[in-house]
Amino acid sequence: MLNLDRLRTLSAVARHGSVSAAADGLHVTTSAVSQQLAKLEREAGQQLLAKNGRGVRLTDAGRLLAEHAIRILSQVELAQADLEAHRGQAVGELRLGAFPTAARDLLPGALVQLRAEHPQLRAQLREMEPEASVRGVVRGDIDLAVVLDWHNRPLPLPEGLAKAPILDDPADVAMPAGHPLAHRESVELEEFADDEWIASPEGEFCHDWLMFTLRSKGIEPRVAHMVEEHPTQLALISAGLGVAVAPRLGRGPVPQGVSVVPVRHTMRRHVYAVWRADADRRPSIRAAVTALRRTGEEREGR
């Protein structure tokens, strides 16, 4: 009898292209993946992996079984969704992915609500960037993702996904308290054409958005520093090392030496939940979206 967890591991190797990448996607060690695959080979009675340089590749038998594994796992997910819908209760496991500021400012409240209202539902959170969490939903690695895009830069979504808005998150410009514009009631991005910027790392959605937005206003941005965490960006600004776009969600206390000024033509991030449309009937998905929306409404009302 073929084990579902081992089939899931083989499917992850086929999707990600290597044992180490599959381990990262499954949030386990590479040795755990290797052990699962060795056991699956014994169950199948055939070699599923072969050495390929420093890595491995799937054998013909491995590719054949991986194709079956994808279909089997999809059917298992549908069966779980149907059973949950038939029971009419949010039960079992729900795997959530969320970008960092949502994980910090939205998910704690939503998870507390889910635990109180649906004690038989086990919700598990993973912090993930939007593009990675969308891929995770498509692959079935997670059930629901909290993602974002910007008012002028939508996040492309593959077919077969459903989505629901959670909240709109305004963004301001954070600058050193001694900046000439620090005491204004509002500013325009064009006024910072000569400033150095502090941005997210290259390749991240928010970095690409900032470059796109500034260039669309005729500004060739001078990026002085690239850091991921918003508190670190604010610390650099407090030291007088640049300016940054500062969304309000998950911002936390603004340190001394930093002024935060709204943009006259408001910039907003759209925060929403996405999930596979074939899981639309799952009460756990509906419960999570309800909890997230309620938490979002509370956040907007602060």
Domain ranges of the chain: 4-83, 90-167+270-300, 170-266
The CATH-assigned architecture of domain 90-167+270-300 is 3-Layer(aba) Sandwich (3.40)
Could you report the per-residue pLDDT of 101-126, keeping only the tens digit for each? 999 999 999 999 999 999 989 999 99
Tokens of 193: 């054409």
How many Å apart are CA 287 and CA 271, to the nearest integer? 17
Instruction: List alpha helices for the chain, DSSP H.
Output: 4-16, 19-26, 30-44, 60-87, 100-105, 107-117, 130-139, 205-216, 230-238, 283-300
Q: Which residue has the higher pLDDT, 178 or 3?
A: 178
121-127: strand order across its sheet: 121-127, 92-98, 144-150, 258-276, 161-176, 244-247
Q: How many whole angstroms separate alpha carbon 158 and alpha carbon 12?
A: 19
Choosing among 1.10.10.10, 3.20.20.70, 3.30.1490.20, 1.20.140.10, the CATH entry for 4-83 is 1.10.10.10
Decide if 4-83 and 170-266 have a common fold: no
pTM as predicted: 0.72
CATH code for the domain defined by 170-266? 3.40.190.10
pLDDT digits (tens, 9 = 90+) for 220-259: 999 999 998 889 999 999 999 999 999 999 888 899 999 9
